[in-house]
A and B are shown apart, each in its own frame.
Chain A
Amino acid sequence: MATTTRSATPASRGAGAPPDGRTGALARAGAALSRAVQPRYLPVAGTLLTLVIMLAVGESRYGGERGFVSARLFSNLLLDNSYLLVLAVGMTFVILTGGIDLSVGAVVALVGLVVATLLPLGVPLPVVLVVGVLVGSTSGLLVGTLVHHFSIQPFIASLAAMFLARGLCNVVSVQSLAIKDEGFAALASWSLKLGEGRNMSKINLSMIVAVLVLLAAYAVLHHTRFGRTVYGVGVGDGGNAVQLMGLKGGRTVLWVYVISGTCAGVAGILFALYTKSGFNLTGIGMELDAIAAVVIGGTILTGGGGYVLGTGAGVLVYGLIQVLIAREGLDSWWTRVFIGVVLLAFVVLQRVITLRRR
């Protein structure tokens, strides 16, 4: 179980007591504790609790002599969900402002196809990767422009962008394109191996990128003016307060969508690395997975409250659901039902907390 605590640490640091609150005297610990049970930390506490319960269930059902909870499990979870983590981080920015970005799944598909199309044409790999990310940023810029400059609702603006990206996908190709480029394959297969034999776990490029994105997002959201403005915009009056405070609330909204789009671009490349192909039907419903991960991670859907590190935990919960269902030998549609149930539980939890706060 040592691994459990280790990998839960980053999330709990963001969620629970401030780092300086747990040293020293009992009183300070008490203060930290009372701060930790503040309503605003409850959703994240729920996330961690769910994570622990699911790990415990897994351990008790499939533990056996090899053990369920292991470095390998987490390595695999991250391996399979690195693209989702990046998407969910981008989505966290958007949801914090009270918006939504439904275009990300389609952008992932588009980026995969762009990569798969450009590489055989002899375009250098670094250029292809940059173009891939920029495709995402451009889509985000489009959504942001519609939301910010034309006052179109985020839901509908990103829906339009989703259709646009899907349409472009179909124009590029309606067949699955395999990516055979050697450099790309090398990137995809590169990994650091830790441990031996059955306990071996891997760290690959996607995992590193995803974790770096998560850490960068944490730094930006919690320690920069832009990040705090993102929280301010989500306060529930459409950014009016931030605007009247003389901050560039509107510009922040625009940037949030660019960030989400860029994350979708990065996720598209990670997904291409994962599947080594591009396909126009990739990522249908992926935006919902990302939203679910964010909500499970404790970010309040109305905006203004949440922690990007919680989103990391949310992605882990999401991945665990899939692992457990696969281990149970249930049909894949059960995944959907289960995610629905977990989502429902978290949404109701959020409501209860908000109601109690009032």
Chain B
Amino acid sequence: MSSPTTRPPGRPGTVGRVVHHRLFWPVVALVLLLLACGLRSPGFLTVSVQDGHLFGQLVDILRFSATPMLLGLGMALVIATGGIDLSVGAVMAISLAVSLTYLDASPTAGAVPTVAAAIGVALAVAVVIGTFNGFLVSVLGVQPFIATMILMVAGRGIAMLITQGQITTVTSEPFKFLGSGFVLGLPTPVVVAAVVLVLLVLLVRGSALGMLLESVGINREASRLAGVPSRRITWLVYVVAALLAGVAGIVYGAPTMAADANNIGLMKEMDAILCVVLGGTTLAGGKFYLGGTVVGALILSTIERAVVIFHVPSQITPLFKALVIIAVCVAQSPRLREMIRSGVPGRSGRAAGPPTPAPTPAPAPTVEKVL
């Protein structure tokens, strides 16, 4: 479920090449990580079938990638418009708090319709939050970073208000199924994530949304003058991101069924951003890569798994993540490619080759680095 999806239907070969190039390093990193784990722990790469369900380390990695992937896909769209959504972690907490509080108050928490209603309410709240974010960004023109930071800061307070400062715990089999059940032998979160991915690819690349998103991200005013409804598109994207975060919150919290407003989704926005960046989408906006984001999510959860396999004390997971992130960012940096190409001593002012934005005369942020 990785690279094939990145090739959007009906795009030219050269763009395909660029996509391929963008994905090259992330995929290499993923494969190396998996191989390293496989060498270290021989059973790592085997997948077994028990009771018709798939089991194994790889399946676990898939399961754990579901949350960052759901968040990352929404984030990728937001980033494409030149924005960022820092509130997704808080939205996860709110969505879970809402659904569990609903179930808690209902006498029939174990019934499927009740669960469906709980999820419906939670996702509706997520949509409202996304609408608020989108309003700040697209109508008021507040910087996305700061607009969503407001909910990042205040959102957990709101989740606390919903659960009245308690850790709400309920028992509901259908709800739990969403987090720890299996569909067609695959863990439910994986299936949910895959369905979301397919729907999103259809939505974005099957329509003109993808191109218009990118054009808005690259040059908002020029897009507006070309008739692109940039305001509506930007708004939509925040709603989608919040909706996906709501889904992620439910999928993430379902196995434990405990709405711990302080900890659910903590720092997850960072993971989501990392998935997107690892997948080759730059934070400046413009071109985005959903397939790359999926690879990014897989890398992230593989790293977390690798830490366990290599018996690295789990406390240093962030250190490990940080080193990998810095390495990938530097590897993707146009400047490094340029240095390598021109031989280290040459201080060429330009990046050649199509894959990277060449910091030529355009007053892109990179130009200031042309020393």
User: Which A residues are closer than 8 A to B by beta carbons?
Assistant: 100, 146, 148-153, 155-157, 159-164, 166-168, 170-171, 174, 233, 237-240, 242-243, 249-250, 253, 280, 285, 288, 291-292, 295, 301-302, 331, 333-337, 339-341, 343-344, 347-348, 351, 355
Chain B contacts with A in 148-172, Cβ cutoff 8 A: 149-158, 160-161, 165
Of the candidates B145, B317, B366, which one forms a contact with A301 in the assembled complex, judged by CB atoms under 8 Å apart? B145
| Chain B hits for A149, CB < 8 A | 335, 369
B367 interface residue (CB < 8 Å to A): yes
Given A171-B316, A331-B165, 14 other A-B residues pairs in contact with their CB atoms under 8 A: A146-B330, A150-B336, A151-B335, A152-B329, A152-B333, A161-B322, A163-B318, A170-B316, A240-B363, A250-B368, A291-B149, A336-B153, A343-B153, A348-B142
As a 0/1 sequence over residues 333 to 371 of chain B, the CB contacts with chain A under 8 angstroms (1 = contact) are: 111100000000000000000000001000111111111
The CA of A340 and the CA of B156, in the complex, are separated in Å by 11
B325 interface residue (CB < 8 Å to A): yes
B30 interface residue (CB < 8 Å to A): no
B326 interface residue (CB < 8 Å to A): yes
Q: Nearest Cβ in chain B — how far from A92, in angstroms?
A: 15
| Chain B hits for A334, CB < 8 A | 157
Q: A151-B369, A238-B368, A239-B368 are in contact. Are A337 and B157 (CB under 8 A)?
A: yes
B320 interface residue (CB < 8 Å to A): yes
Q: Nearest Cβ in chain A — how far from B341, in angstroms?
A: 15
User: Which B residues are closer than 8 A to A by beta carbons?
Assistant: 84, 136, 140-143, 145-147, 149-158, 160-161, 165, 270, 273-274, 277, 282-284, 313, 315-323, 325-326, 329-330, 333-336, 359, 363-371
Q: A156 contacts B277, CB within 8 Å? A: yes
Q: A150 contacts B333, CB within 8 Å? A: yes
Q: B319 contacts A150, CB within 8 Å? A: no
The CA of A212 and the CA of B369, in the complex, are separated in Å by 33
Jot down 12 A-B pairs with beta carbons below 8 A, ordered by A: A149-B369, A150-B329, A151-B334, A156-B283, A159-B325, A163-B321, A164-B318, A170-B319, A238-B363, A340-B155, A347-B136, A347-B143
**Interface core residue of B316, B318, B366, B367 (most chain A CB under 10 Å):** B318
Of the candidates B147, B315, B364, B367, which one forms a contact with A347 in the assembled complex, judged by CB atoms under 8 Å apart? B147
A interface majority secondary structure? helix
The CA of A46 and the CA of B320, in the complex, are separated in Å by 43
The CA of A163 and the CA of B270, in the complex, are separated in Å by 10
Q: B146 contacts A347, CB within 8 Å? A: yes
Q: A150-B336, A340-B151, A347-B142 are in contact. Are A174 and B367 (CB under 8 A)?
A: no
Q: Nearest Cβ in chain B — how far from A302, in angstroms?
A: 7
The CA of A343 and the CA of B143, in the complex, are separated in Å by 13
Q: B323 contacts A157, CB within 8 Å? A: no
| Chain A hits for B367, CB < 8 A | 238, 240, 243
Q: A167-B319, A301-B145, A355-B141 are in contact. Are A146 and B329 (CB under 8 A)?
A: yes
**Interface core residue of A151, A250, A285, A340 (most chain B CB under 10 Å):** A151
Of the candidates A160, A166, A174, A233, which one forms a contact with B325 in the assembled complex, judged by CB atoms under 8 Å apart? A160
The CA of A73 and the CA of B74, in the complex, are separated in Å by 45
The CA of A339 and the CA of B270, in the complex, are separated in Å by 21
| Chain B hits for A302, CB < 8 A | 143
| Chain A hits for B317, CB < 8 A | 167, 170
**Closest 3 pairs between A and B when the two form their complex, measured CB to CB:** A167-B319, A340-B154, A163-B322
Q: A160-B326, A347-B142, A348-B142 are in contact. Are A238 and B365 (CB under 8 A)?
A: yes
Q: B150 contacts A347, CB within 8 Å? A: yes
Q: Nearest Cβ in chain A — how far from B277, in angstroms?
A: 6
Of the candidates B146, B161, B277, B363, which one forms a contact with A333 in the assembled complex, judged by CB atoms under 8 Å apart? B161
